[in-house]
Amino acid sequence: MERIVFAEGWREVFADSGYENFNSFFKYSSGERINEKGKRNVQSLTIKRQGAAATVFIKRFNYPHLKDLVGSYFSFGRVLSQAAVEWENANFLLNKNIGTYKPVCCGEKTIFGLERKSFFVSEKIKGQCLTDFVGEKWDRISRQQKEDLLAGLGRFVRKIHNAGINFPDLYVWHIYLNDNRQSDKFDFSIIDLHRMQQNVTKREKQIHNLGRFKYSMLDKHFDESLYRIFIESYAVGGRSEDVDELAAKVIKYSHIRLGKRNQKKY
């Protein structure tokens, strides 16, 4: 069985460019390949919308992971495709005023209700991946700007946790720095939502999220004082606990459970 869901106004946009059924989306291969990891890949697609070129991204899941199907059941009370999980989670974040990509289309192919293949299409985020920003501009911005950015990141992650979200893929490379021309403050979005879980408030899960984020913070860019600013900013507005104790728990999880192996460079 095949199913495609469109956000309001997008069915006609895709139909005008010849994208109307599952295979027309899933077999598209002309755009730039952004990312590829085993059973999933991301590719850009440029179409016309309201007379102008618009870039969207197609994330395709070739085969489901059993753990993801089980995870969707515990999160939503029913088994969902990985693309449907992205769709639900993106809309949830946006409803909570948490930045992420805007979903425009979601499709799945199932057999007896179980996913075989699926895809998720989103608008391009108007901003820059944080790893690219750090790699290109970190040496050119002031110390105060670095501290402001880390403080903003701490507040952003706190907002995610206050919304009852468990984000096991909380890494620097999944954060985008939004274009915000009306303000000098840093504004963020988060991507890669297929493992995100709603209605999770366990402190252990939050520590694990923070530990993964600490793991992704390269020492050559983020010194201990910048990390301290991040964790102190995160602690504001949360449960009452000693910041030193919180920081120690996060670092312990980062080092013991994750180590420094296979850390991305940027």
Domains of the chain: 2-123 (3.30.200), 127-258 (1.10.510.10)
**What is the pLDDT, as a whole number, of residue 65?**
76
**What is the pLDDT, as a whole number, of residue 77?**
83
Paired with 4 in beta bridges are 107
Residues 6+ apart with CB under 8 A from 158: 233, 234, 235, 236, 237, 238
Rg, Å, the chain Cα set? 19
For each of the chain's 266 residues, which pLDDT tens digit applies?
Answer: 999 999 999 999 999 999 999 999 999 988 888 877 777 889 999 998 888 889 999 999 987 777 777 778 778 888 899 999 999 999 999 999 999 999 999 999 998 888 899 999 999 999 999 999 999 999 999 999 999 999 999 999 999 999 999 999 999 999 999 987 556 678 999 999 999 999 999 999 999 999 999 999 998 999 999 999 999 999 986 565 688 889 989 988 888 766 655 555 66
**What is the pLDDT, as a whole number, of residue 66?**
76
Closest CA to 26 of 105, 96, 94, 133: 105
**What is the pLDDT, as a whole number, of residue 172?**
95
Closest CA to 84 of 107, 67, 51, 102: 107
> Which residue type does 67 have?
K
**What is the pLDDT, as a whole number, of residue 181?**
57
Tokens of 20: 């109307």
**What is the pLDDT, as a whole number, of residue 78?**
87
